[in-house]
Amino acid sequence: MEIWKVGFAAMVVGLTMVVECGVVAADMLYSSKLVHRFSDEVRKLGVSRNGEVWPQHRSLEYYGRLMSSDLQRQKMKLGPQFQLLFPSEGSKTMPLGNDFGWLHYMYIDIGTPSVSFLIALDAGSDLLWVPCECVQCAPLSASYYSSLDKDLNEYNPSGSSTNDTSTSGVLVEDILHLASGSRMAANSSARAPVIFGCGSKQTGGYLNGVAPDGLLGLGPGEISVPSRLAKAGLVQNSFSLCFKEDDSGRIFFGDQGPASQQKTSFLPSDGQFVTYVVGVESCCVGSSCIEQTNFKAIVDSGTSFTFLPDQIYDRVVKEFDREVNASKASFEGYPWQYCYKSSSEGLPKIPSFTLKFMTNSTFIVQDPVFVIYGSQGAVGFCLAVEPSGIDIGTIGQNFMTGYRMVFDRENLKLGWSLSDCQDLTDSNRLPMTPANGSSPNSLPTDQQNSPNSSGVAPAVAGRTPSKSAAPTNRRISFKLCLTKLLFPLLLVSSNFRQSMYTLTL
């Protein structure tokens, strides 16, 4: 089976996970704060090992690095009642810059005794993998990376009492350590059996520091950590990602979203749900919805920007250009084709950008443009959308900003609601005002729902198991064949079955 991976944005999370426990085990939530690769929080961690200073916020280099990552990935692809879980080492995420390929990361603890791993987040793949009895791996010493204050680890199967597998280069089942806590109860520990790749050989970008300590796939496959947590009865089979305008955010395992959220269905690819695909019925710009702009799109939090199929892109940008009250401009080095000058009075009113789904639900992009700054302040702005070059689009992280995006795998739904990313309860969530000042419920006048329409307006937004409970022996040999940044994984044999899978992440 092939899993498409489109672009990446960088976030760092940490996961031994902390949980807020409830009476029902399934109603638990795992969470971790997300921080953007270029955020001020991460900037304080320092510069890359090559002495290269991080790009200035919203500078040419800033956008260039994000877009470069997205283009590489494009080429590689064909509610409130829940309890909370977040990393026991802290819920804060850490983007680690150029040393780590501008990905987002989180800490997880695996095995008994537990070993900590700094892993990259990847919503477009399924497998969790960590370095194991390395034959050829990226450096794990903190001295090699300017942004680390402690060494990275490698997994030793024979050193964990909760694992029965001791051979390197295999799929291993072992314990993922979680910490649980509740407002009404003291903290307690929780453990979940997970399957992960024990990789002994790395090539390509991994040897240069891209995810040197492992990668966490959040895809819909049965082997993914969200799937395993749900099967263990720890959480609902769902998770959410929330992105703030300051590039920070959170991740919640088990979150199925508030009742007020809007939803649309995930679509299968060749009869299977191998990644998160939705059907866009039309694109709306400003006062009208454009005809013949329906397409399928991968919802990929790992993509910094948004990509549209070429014909859709042409229609959308022309309508945007027609409605924006600004003079076109060219800013050397920036990746976007539709850019405009700002006036002495600042930015003009930006035409709204709305995606309308087949369920008659609407997704209003909070800020579809990126402002370009010079020495004297804002000098212009660009519509941060690019042609995909294929017949499927990608809804990237820039379109998700300001939203709590729910990947409800149990009901095969994508949900969204405006959020401040601080609290999951409806009462504590602060409404956000769209960047262009328009009402968050507004639709183009020619596409507003009739009184009898079924459409919905956009929302304003444990214990340590005994030895006998240890995972059963599972050994599936595999070889890691790394691509430029992410790897295809070949599973060549199994004690239970003979099969072969190729994962293009």
Query: Which residues does the annotation mark as catalytic?
Result: 122, 300
Strands 385-387 and 306-308: parallel
* 3-class secondary-structure state, position 406: strand
Distance, CA of 393 to CA of 282 (rounded, Å)? 13
Handedness of CA 358, 362, 364, 365 (dihedral sign): negative
Q: Are 189 and 180 in contact (CB under 8 A)?
A: yes
Q: Is there a contact between 14 and 89 (Cβ–Cβ < 8 Å)? A: yes
With residue 41 as reference, give the H or E element that holds it. Answer: helix 40-43
State which amino acid sits at residue 97: G
153 vs 132: CA distance, rounded Å: 9
* Interatomic CA distance for residues 349 and 438, integer angstroms: 10
Decide: 113 and 5 in contact? Cβ < 8 Å.
no
Report the C-alpha gap between 55 and 47 in whole angstroms: 10
- Two tokens, residue 270: 């060749």
The string of DSSP letters for 201-234 reads: E--GGGGGTSSTT-EEE-SSSTTSHHHHHHHTTS
